[in-house]
Amino acid sequence: MSRSFPPDFLWGVAASAFQTEGAVHADGRGQSVWDVYSHTPGRTTNGDTADIACDHYHRYPEDIALMRGLGVKAYRLSTAWPRIFPTGSGQVNQRGLDFYDRVIDLALHEGIEPWICLHHWDMPVAVEDNGGWRNRDTAKIFADYSAVVARHFGDRIKRFAPINEPNVIPWVAYNVGRHAPGKQDYPSSLQAIHTLNLAHGYSVSSVRAEAPTAEVGNIVSLGPVRPHYDDAAHEEARILGDCLWRRVTVDPLWLGTYPEPIADAMQPFIQPGDMAAISQKMDFFGLNHYNPVFVGPNKNTTFGVSETAPPTGMGPLTDVNWVVDPAAFLEQIRDTSARYGKPTIYITENGASYPDALGPDRKVIDNDRITYFNGYLNALLDALDEGHDIRGYFAWSLMDNFEWGRGYSKRFGLVYVDYPTLQRIPKQSYHWLSNVIAANAL
Q: Are 89 and 36 in contact (CB under 8 A)?
A: no
337: left (phi over 0), alpha (psi -120 to 50) or beta: alpha
Closest CA to 234 of 314, 173, 311: 311
- Under DSSP, is residue 186 helix (H, G, I), strand (E, B) or coil? helix
User: Catalytic site residue 165?
Assistant: yes
Query: Chain centroid to CA 397: how far?
Result: 11
User: Catalytic site residue 236?
Assistant: no
Residue 7 is classified by DSSP as T
The rounded radius of gyration (Å) of the Cα atoms in the chain is 20
Q: Are 329 and 379 in contact (CB under 8 A)?
A: yes
Closest CA to 15 of 328, 339, 413: 413
Quick one: the chain helix, strand, coil %, rounded to 5?
A: 45, 15, 40
Q: Which residues pair with 12 in a beta bridge?
A: 74, 394
Q: Report how far residue 415's alpha carbon sits from residue 412's, in angstroms, rounded to the nearest whole number.
A: 9
Buried b (16+ CB within 10 A) or exposed e, 264-288: eebeebeeeebbebbbeebbbbbbb
Closest CA to 114 of 145, 146, 158, 68: 158
Q: Report how far residue 308's alpha carbon sits from residue 347's, in angstroms, rounded to the nearest whole number.
A: 25
Q: Are 216 and 286 in contact (CB under 8 A)?
A: no
Pairing of strands 423-426, 415-418: antiparallel
Catalytic residue among 113, 128, 349, 403: 349
Pairing of strands 159-163, 74-78: unpaired
Would you give the end-to-end CA distance of the chain in angstroms?
A: 17
Residue 392 neighbours by CB under 8 Å, 6+ apart: 9, 10, 11, 12, 74, 346, 347
Catalytic residue among 21, 128, 165, 307: 165
Q: Are 136 and 189 in contact (CB under 8 A)?
A: no
Q: Exposed, middle or buried, 232 (CB in 10 Å: 0-12/13-18/19+)? A: exposed
Q: Which residues are marked as active site? A: 165, 349
